[in-house]
Amino acid sequence: MTAYTAAVAASPSPSRSPAPAPAPTPSPSPSKFASPRITQQFAQIALWSATALTIAILLFVIAFVMRRGLGSISWSFLAGSPRKSGAEGGIFPTIVSTLYVTIAAVAVATPLGLGAAIYLAEYTSEGWVSGIIRRGTESLAGIPSIIFGLFGFAFFVTTLGLGWSVLSGGLTLGAMILPTVIRTAEEALRAVPREYRHVARSLGATRWDAIRTVVLPVAAPGIMTGIVLGIARAVSETAAVIFTAGVALRIPTSLFDSARTMSVHFYTLTMEGISDSQAYGTAAVLVVTILLMNVVAYTLMHRFTRNLR
């Protein structure tokens, strides 16, 4: 150990220290037991292995689901109706349900979130109003989804009497993804150079004209990123939907119909031990959907930053 330490410490140092006198550099090193070079190498190895482990976990999660799930996926699985509580047949109704609930959520969260972001980024200076709004948005972002589920159940399902429905689920998820949309959209708007606004205003545009014609078009990909991330969150959510959209395993025909999303279906298949192969298949569809969403979001973000040069 000591020999190795000495060898490693000694060999590269002559080439690296052209200083004429071996002036003892006051070392900011936190380590007192090993030479800085050893610590450096040790740290490097440790850090890289930790990173490798993290990546490995991710790959394992995806590979595990894919290897067992992709085999179950077929046209009849995607487009077919479930039989025997989902033990056989397809998952088409849950795909449609997911789509409906997500559309409802986005329809709620986009105008509100975009409006809020425009207000925060364009219409108000940092004062107490924006402070409160920003604090509220941050707080909302930190609330566990199960609380949204409880709230959605007490408010939309019970008090407003919407029942377990696409609408209740969509409104609840809309509230849940609102902070994501606000934050991403505000960041996108703030990233648009101030000069663009000034140019527009100097050419006779009102504040709203400038936002509509210059700021929003430039920020659009960034805003879309937020919406896509919101969609991804809505698709993968279980706790908030199960109490609000319900679990009916059929294609909803109206906003007031109960609906079972893919995530809830997957949860039910798993927890009721109905069918492992069906569960893996559903999980694979879910994970592929989320992967695609992330790729889309990333591509949009990339385009946005390129737009801004």
Partner 1 sequence: MSKRLPDRVAARILLGAASSAIAILALITVFIFREGLPVIIDRGPLSFIAGMRWAPSQGEYGLLPMIAGSAVVTAGALLLGLPLGIACAITLAEMAPPRARTVLKPTIELLAGIPSVVYGFIGMEVLVPFIRENPAFGGAGYSALAASVILAVMVLPTIVGISIDAIEAVPHSFREGSRALGATQWQTIAGVVLPAARSGIVAGVILGIGRAVGETMAVIMVAGNSVRMPHSLLDPVRTLTANIALEMGYASGAHAQALFATGIVLFIISLALNELAGRARRRRRVTQTVPEPTLTTAETRAELLGGDNAPPLGREHFA
Partner 2 sequence: MSAPSADALQLPAAVADSVRATGLSIRYGTRVALQPTDLSIAAGTVHGIIGPAGSGKTSFLRTLNLMSVELDGAVADGSLLIGGAEVLAGGVVLRDPSALAQLRRRVGIVFATPQPLPRSIFENVAYGPRIAGVTDRAELDATVERSLRAAQLWDEVADRLSLMATRLSGGQQQRLCLARTLALNPSIVLLDEPCSGLDPISTARIEETLRTLKSRITFVLVTNSIYQAERVADDTSFFLMGERIETAPTAELFARASRQETQDYLNGRFG
Partner 3 sequence: MSLTPHAQTARWIRPLATLLCVLAVPCCTSSRGKESERGGVVLAGSTSIQPFAEQWAEAYHGGRVTVQAGGSTAGIKAAHDGTADFGMSSRELHASEAEGLVQTVVARDGIAVIVHASNPIHQLSLAQLRAIYNGEISNWRALGGDDAPITVITREEGSGTRDTFQEIVMGARVEIASNALVTAYSGGLRKMVAEDRHAIGYVTFSQLDNRVHAIALDGILPTEVTIASRAYRLQRPFLFLTRGAATGSAAAFLTFVLSIEGQAIARAEGLAPVSAP
The helix or strand, by DSSP H or E, that contains position 83, with its residue range, turns out to be: strand 82-83
How far apart are alpha carbons 141 and 154 in whole angstroms? 20
Given a contact cutoff of 8 angstroms between Cβ atoms, the answer to whether 152 and 168 are in contact is yes
260 in contact with partner 3 (CB under 8 A):
yes
DSSP 85: G
CA dist., res. 137 & res. 98, Å (int): 25
Evaluate whether 203 touches 195 at the Cβ level (below 8 Å). Answer: no
Least CB distance to partner 1 at residue 40 (A): 4
* Residue 81 C-beta: closest distance to partner 3, Å: 10
Among 194, 204, 253, 254, binds partner 1 (CB under 8 A): 194
Q: Of partner 1, partner 3, partner 2, none, which one sits near residue 133, judging by CB under 5 to 8 A according to partner kind?
A: partner 1
Least Å distance between CB 125 and partner 2? Answer: 8
141 is a site residue for partner 1 (CB under 8 A): yes
Binding partner of residue 304 among partner 2, partner 1, partner 3, none, CB under 5 to 8 Å per kind? none
**Residue number, 166 or 182, with CB nearest to partner 1:** 182
Asked if 201 interacts with partner 3 (CB under 8 A), we say no
CB 165 within 8 A of CB 257: yes
CB of 307 to partner 1, least distance (A): 18
With a CB cutoff of 8 Å and minimum separation 6, the contacts of 162 are 156, 168, 171, 256
**Distance of closest approach, residue 156 Cβ to partner 1, in angstroms:** 10
Which structure tokens are listed for 218?
């430039």
User: For residue 26, with 0-12 CB atoms within 10 Å meaning exposed, 13-18 middle and 19 or more buried, which class applies?
Assistant: exposed
Nearer to partner 1, 166 or 211 (CB): 211
Residues 181-200 that bind partner 2 (CB under 8 A): 195-200
Task: Determine the 3-state secondary structure of 272 from DSSP.
Answer: coil
| Tokens at 253, concatenated | 């025909």
Interface residues toward partner 2, by CB under 8 A: 125, 195-207, 209, 213-214, 217-218, 307, 309
Interface residues toward partner 3, by CB under 8 A: 82, 84-87, 157-158, 160-164, 242-243, 246-250, 256, 260, 268, 270-274
